[in-house]
Amino acid sequence: YCKGVCPRVLHYGLNSPNHAIIQNLVSELVDQNVPQPSCVPYKYVPISILLIEANGSILYKEYEGIIAQSCTC
């Protein structure tokens, strides 16, 4: 998961989505009741799971986009 405080100025290297950039501007210039952007996942990796089925067989499954690999604001 991602956790942390975002900087007041969102620079290009953060790969911030447009929503976060606009939210930051609105919070700074229009309405300070609008919360600052928060830390969110940017890149994901899959998770591998072994399941034991009712008949005792073992099943390997991989679910894409589950684990946050890197975060942004």
The tens digit of pLDDT for each residue in 13-65 reads 788 888 888 888 898 889 989 888 888 898 999 999 999 999 999 999 999 99
What are the structural domain ranges in the chain? Answer: 12-72
pLDDT in the model for residue 67: 95
Pair 59, 51: CB distance under 8 Å: yes
pTM of the model: 0.63
Q: Does 68 have pLDDT greater than 90?
A: yes
pLDDT band with cut points at 50, 70 and 90 for residue 7: confident
Q: What is d(CA 31, CA 22) in angstroms, rounded to the nearest whole number?
A: 12
Q: What is d(CA 67, CA 70) in angstroms, rounded to the nearest whole number?
A: 9
pLDDT in the model for residue 55: 96
CATH of 12-72, one of 2.40.10.10, 1.40.20.10, 3.40.50.620, 2.10.90.10: 2.10.90.10
Q: Which of 24, 10, 1 is nearest to 71 (CA)?
A: 1
Instruction: Quote the DSSP letter at residue 9.
Output: S
